[in-house]
Amino acid sequence: MASSGNPCFWNEFELKKPPLVTLQVENTGFAKHVYVDINRFLLQQCGEKETKEFDETAALIGRLMARRKNSFRNVPGFRTVCKLNAALCRLLRLDLARDLEQFRGTLPDVCDGDSDGVLPTRSSFQFILVRLLSFYHLHERIRECCISAATYFTQLLRNNFFMDFVTLLLAAIAKINKLSTLQASHSADLYNRLWPQVPNFPQVEKHRFLMDNQDLPAKLSSPVSTKEVTSPTPAPVLMKPKEVVTRVERAKSDVGTVIARKEPSNTLRSAKPKFNAAEVLATVEDAQRFIARETKARNQNPPPESCLTMRISKHEWLAAQTLFQRKLGKDPAKALSIFRKFIISKIK
């Protein structure tokens, strides 16, 4: 039975299922709508193609995480991928399709025209709603992790870090985010259809599933409409044609008072010479001396003004050194080129 006083009882792993009891009732006409809604969800959710794509993509993310566990152990984005993998593993333990099929089997035959029949108790129906809540919120967690991880690894990709691995990881994250959004939309739609039917199921005080201080939400918000997710082409956007400017007229409006700014003197300009990567990082030996000099300066507290890499975060600086040393044994020229591009992008 659900624990008392816990508003997130749906998040419990060992949520005890109430006993499956059926009672004779006079009106079962509404049950056909419940049967049809559950059947539609199972056809949408358990499609062979969609399920296979989701499982394969989730397995790919798990393998990528295990393969690069030592390389990205201290990277914030990788910790988010670990949380994403944990949410995907937890989703595998939640066999929603099995619970829905068992509950659907207890409903009266939809082809039976009689109004009376047997129905499962309200507790069994509420257990199905709680399972839908778990499914919905797990997908919400998955999408949050996808957005957070993609934001970080996109920045690495812009700096030419681990391009092959990051490209594959971003593609897997984007695909799992799309499939998760679609599944969450289906579960929210089913929940919103089933929740109004709760009073129609018979209640047994002995087998109550929810306590007095536990309430189920009346409605779940769909992350995006199903049509928007499955639409292959975006809606056409009508663009207003721009007017062709044939001459430039002087503006007559008041633009305020123009304040002249003094240019810095030549002495000030020459005081801080511009960083020239072609000279400072001309050879591999120059790059190694640059790394040693900057690392020594960064370890001082506070770093001196001559430290050129003060704005580079600690994990980015360590990742740049690791990539440089790894590429150095295979292709020194490529290692120097990648390191030089990184330094240029950070020092402006």
The whole-number pLDDT of residue 319 equals 85
Q: What is the pLDDT of residues 58-71, one digit of tens each?
A: 999 888 888 777 66
- Assess whether pLDDT exceeds 70 at residue 296: yes
Per-residue pLDDT at 225 exceeds 60: no
Q: What element of type H or E holds 22? A: strand 22-25
At 143 the pLDDT is 95
The H or E element containing residue 49 is helix 48-67
With cut-offs at 50, 70 and 90, classify the pLDDT of residue 293: confident
Mean pLDDT along residues 189-196: 94
Residue 228: per-residue pLDDT: 46
What is residue 95's three-state secondary structure?
coil
The whole-number pLDDT of residue 144 equals: 94
- Give me the residue spans of the domains in the chain: 21-230, 273-346
Average pLDDT over residues 292-298: 86
Query: What percent of the chain stands above pLDDT 70?
Result: 75
Per-residue pLDDT reduced to its tens digit, 136-163:
999 999 999 999 989 888 887 777 777 7
- Report pLDDT for 247: 45
> pLDDT tens, 266-289?
444 444 456 777 777 888 888 888
pLDDT score for 241: 42
pLDDT at 239: 40
Give the DSSP letter string of 144-190: HHHHHHHHHHHHHHHTTSSHHHHHHHHHHHHHHHHHHHHHHHHHHHH
Please provide residue 308's backbone torsions phi and psi, each rounded to the nearest 5 degrees.
Answer: -80, -15
Euclidean distance between CA atoms 221 and 42, whole angstroms? 20
Neighbours of 53 (CB within 10 A): 15
For residues 160 and 341, is the Cβ–Cβ distance under 8 A?
yes
Structure tokens at 61: 């993310």
Q: 238: Cβ–Cβ under 8 A, 6 or more apart, which residues?
A: none
Q: What is the SS3 assignment for 25?
A: strand
The pLDDT value given to residue 248: 40
Name, of 141-145, 276-280, 309-313, 342-346, the range with top average pLDDT: 141-145
pTM higher than the cut 0.95:
no
The answer to whether the bond into 217 is cis (omega within 30° of 0) is no
- For residue 69, the SS3 value is coil
Q: Which two tokens stand for residue 178?
A: 């799309």
Residue 32 has pLDDT above 80, yes or no: yes
Residues 6+ apart with CB under 8 A from 37: 190, 193, 194
149 contacts 171 by C-beta, under 8 angstroms: no
Asked whether residue 235 carries a pLDDT value surpassing 80, the answer given is no
Q: Which residues of 81-96 are buried (b: 16+ CB within 10 A; e: fewer)?
A: bebbbebbeebeeeeb
Q: Which two tokens stand for residue 52?
A: 């296979």
